[in-house]
Amino acid sequence: MEIWFFVGIVAALLTTFGFIPQILKMSRTRSVEDVSLATFVQFLAGVGLWAFYGMAIGDPIVTVANIVTFATLVAAIALYCIYHGKASTPG
């Protein structure tokens, strides 16, 4: 296979799972004090559009990576909504 196929897969994996550490930290600390909701919403819109673009051009790497990223961002936004305004508890 072509080298660019593998570059695409590695890039997709890195960006797709880029928010997982933040989600784990929010879940563990039960705090979103230093988290920007605007950043999550902006990325959500961007990856949603990238997913549609991937579908339009028939690129499964672009499509799947952005759908998975969209799902992780939905989880991050849900945690933000749950923990926003709540005092963090030691854990």
Mean pLDDT of 50-69: 95
What's the CATH number where 25 sits? Answer: 1.20.1280.290
48, HSE (Cβ side, Cα atoms, 13 Å): 8
In the block, which residue shows the tokens 């897969």? 9
Domain count, the chain: 1
Confirm whether 39 is domain-assigned.
Answer: yes
- From the list 78, 73, 67, the residue with the least C-alpha distance to 20 is 73
Confidence check: pLDDT of 88 > 80: no
Confirm whether 55 is domain-assigned.
Answer: yes
Question: Are the CB atoms for 6 and 58 separated by under 8 Å?
Answer: no
Q: How confident is the model at residue 15 (pLDDT cuts 50, 70, 90)?
A: confident
**Highest mean pLDDT pick, 5-14, 27-36, 52-61:** 52-61
End-to-end CA distance of the chain: 47
Q: Give every CB contact of residue 65 below 8 A, 6+ residues apart in sequence.
A: 12, 13, 15, 16, 54
- Per the model's pLDDT, the better-predicted residue between 48 and 1 turns out to be 48
Confirm whether 91 is domain-assigned.
Answer: no
Structural domain containing residue 34: 3-83
Counted residue by residue, the chain has a size of 91
Q: How confident is the model at residue 72 (pLDDT cuts 50, 70, 90)?
A: very high
Confirm whether 67 is domain-assigned.
Answer: yes
How far is CA 38 from each of CA 5, 30, 54, 74, rounded to the nearest angstrom? 32, 19, 24, 13
Mean pLDDT, the chain, as a whole number? 90
